[in-house]
C-alpha cells in the first residue's frame, strides 16, 4: 500500500467517493471476490476505500472500477474531481463545451 501523505488527498477522496456512490460496498465485494463477505471482510474492504484510513493504490482503484460498469465512461477529470473546489458536492462536473 502506498505511503499515506496529505498532498493530493483530494484526489483519493474524489476517487473513493465515486466508487462508493456508484455501488454498495457489499455488492462490490461480491463482484470482486465472488462470495459474500464476513463482517470482518467487509470492514477491511471498507477501510481500504476510506481515504481517512488508507491510501488505496491504482491496483485497488482499478479493480473497483473494473467491476463497476457505471464508472467506465467517466473521464479521469470526473473520477478524480479535477476542476472542483474541495468541499463541493460529490457529483461529477459536466464536461466543458468547446
The C-alpha atoms of residue 82 and residue 68 are separated, in whole angstroms, by 21
* Per-residue pLDDT at 96: 43
- Torsion sign across C-alpha atoms 75, 12, 66, 23: negative
pTM of the model as a whole: 0.76
Virtual CA dihedral for 77, 80, 84, 85, nearest 10 degrees?
-150
* Per-residue pLDDT at 93: 42
Domain ranges of the chain: 9-79
pLDDT in tens, 26-79: 999 999 999 999 999 999 999 999 999 999 999 999 999 999 999 999 999 999
Nearest CA to 92 among 28, 24, 17? 17
Amino acid at each position: 500500500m502506498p505511503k499515506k501523505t496529505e498532498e493530493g488527498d483530494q484526489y483519493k477522496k474524489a476517487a473513493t467517493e465515486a466508487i462508493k456512490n456508484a455501488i454498495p460496498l457489499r455488492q462490490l465485494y461480491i463482484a470482486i471476490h465472488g462470495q459474500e463477505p464476513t463482517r470482518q471482510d467487509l470492514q477491511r474492504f471498507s477501510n481500504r476505500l476510506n481515504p481517512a484510513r488508507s491510501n488505496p493504490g491504482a491496483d485497488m482503484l482499478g479493480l473497483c472500477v473494473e467491476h463497476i460498469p457505471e464508472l467506465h465512461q467517466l473521464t479521469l477529470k470526473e473520477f478524480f474531481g479535477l476542476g472542483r473546489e474541495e468541499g463541493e458536492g460529490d457529483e461529477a462536473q459536466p464536461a466543458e463545451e468547446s
